Amino acid sequence: MNTKFEPIGLEKQKEYLELLSQCSQSASDYSFANLWGWGEEYGLHWAWQDGLVWIKQTKSAHTYWAPVGNWAMVDWKAKFKNIDRQTVFTRVPEKLLEIWQSNFGDQIKFEEERNNWDYIYDFKELTALKGNRFHKKKNLLNQFLNKYEYEYVAFGPQIIEPAMAMQADWCDWRDCESSDVLAAENRAVFKVFMNWDKLIGLSGGAILADEMIVAYTVAEKFNNETVLIHYEKGCPDYKGVYQAINQMFLAHLTDDYKWVNREQDLGEEGLRKAKLSYNPVDFLRKYRVTLH
C-alpha cells in the first residue's frame, strides 16, 4: 500500500474520533485510547488519505487493520485497484466485511477471529443483576457490600497515583512479567494513566477500603449508546470486589447507555469464561480478510 504511515500520535485525536464516529460499526480495537495506548505494543502506525485512516500493525505480525471512516461513501473498487491482492486485514468488523463482499463477491476470502470478538451486554442488566442468570454475581456483590467498609469514588486526577500503585501490586499478584500479554497490558495502562488529561472521553471509578484502592475500572464513552470498558482490576483479598466495581461504576454513570462493550477475550480461557458468565446479549464479530 503506497501510503505514508507514521506512529499514532495525540495531535490528531479529535480528527480521528470524528472519522471513527462515521463508521457504521465501531469495534473496541479502534477506540483512540486503545490504538494509542497499545500503539507501541503492536507497532501501530496510521496513514490519512481521502477521508480514511489506514492502520498498519508491524509487531508480532505484519498486517493491516480495518480502515476508519465513512465506509458507505468509499469507492472500494477504485480504492483497492492497485493494492496487493494478498494483503491481509485483521479485526475487520462484520458490517465492513459485508460492504466488501457486496463489492468484490468471491474475491473476498475471510475467516472468523473469535478471539477478537467484542462482548456486548445490556446496560440495565449489568446494573441491576436481576434474575437467576445473575444470581451468583448478585450474591458476590452482596457479600462485598456486607463484609467491607468501602467508598466508591469517580476516577480522576486525584486517583491516578494510588491507582498506579494498585496496578503495580496487581501485576505482582499476577506475575505480569511471566506473561507477554499482561506485561504489555501493564505498559498500556500506565501510558493511559500518565496521559489521563490528554485523552478524550475517558471515565472510571475506584473502590477504596482500608485506606487504599482495592479496585478500579477505566472506561470510555464509545458512542451515545455504548460505554466501553478498557481496564478492570481488583485486589484478590476482597471477595466480590470485581462484581462490586463492575456494578458500582455502571450504576454511577449519568449517561443513558443501552450497551456495555467489554472488549475481547484474546482466546484466554479464564477471561472467556469470566466474560461469558456475565451473559452477553451479542458479539461484535470481527474477521480476517484477504482479497484474491
The residue among 41, 30, 29 whose CA lies nearest residue 183 is 41
Q: What is the mean pLDDT of the chain?
A: 95
Do 161 and 98 fall into the same domain?
no
Give one DSSP letter per residue of 90-131, joined into a string. EEEEHHHHHHHHHHHGGGEEEEE-GGGPEEEEEHHHHHH--S
For residue 2, the model assigns a pLDDT of: 61
Do 126 and 256 fall into the same domain?
yes
For residue 285, CA distances in Å to 28, 63, 68, 269 come to 11, 19, 16, 18
Do 79 and 90 fall into the same domain?
yes
Q: What is the mean pLDDT of residues 112-141?
A: 97
In a domain, 201, yes or no: yes
For residue 1, the model assigns a pLDDT of: 63
In a domain, 277, yes or no: no
- Residue ending a domain, choose from 117, 134, 158: 117
In a domain, 271, yes or no: no
Placement of cell 486517583 in the chain: 159
Do 141 and 239 fall into the same domain?
yes
154: confidence class by pLDDT, cuts 50, 70, 90:
very high
Do 87 and 147 fall into the same domain?
no
- Residue 197's domain spans which residues? 120-263
Total number of residues shown for the chain: 292
Q: What's phi and psi for 156, nearest 5 deg?
A: -165, -175
Do 105 and 134 fall into the same domain?
no
- Residue 257 CB-density burial (10 A; 0-12 exposed, 13-18 middle, 19+ buried): buried
The answer to pTM > 0.85 is yes
Do 175 and 40 fall into the same domain?
no
Do 104 and 64 fall into the same domain?
yes
Q: Is the pLDDT of residue 31 over 90?
A: yes
In a domain, 227, yes or no: yes
Do 128 and 239 fall into the same domain?
yes
**Where are any strands of DSSP class E within the chain?**
6-7, 44-49, 52-57, 63-65, 68-69, 88-93, 108-112, 118-122, 151-154, 202-209, 212-221, 226-234, 259-261, 282-284, 286-291
Question: What is the distance between the alpha carbons of residues 57 and 40, in angstroms, rounded to a whole number?
Answer: 10
SS3 272: helix
For residue 83, the model assigns a pLDDT of: 77
The residue among 282, 240, 276 whose CA lies nearest residue 259 is 282
Q: Is the pLDDT of residue 82 over 80?
A: no
User: CATH number for the domain including 203?
Assistant: 3.40.630.30
SS3 81: coil
For residue 38, the model assigns a pLDDT of: 96
Q: What angle do CA 133, 137, 139 make, to 5 degrees?
A: 110
258: confidence class by pLDDT, cuts 50, 70, 90:
very high
187: confidence class by pLDDT, cuts 50, 70, 90:
very high
Question: What is the distance between the alpha carbons of residues 291 and 107, in angstroms, rounded to a whole number?
Answer: 6
89: confidence class by pLDDT, cuts 50, 70, 90:
very high
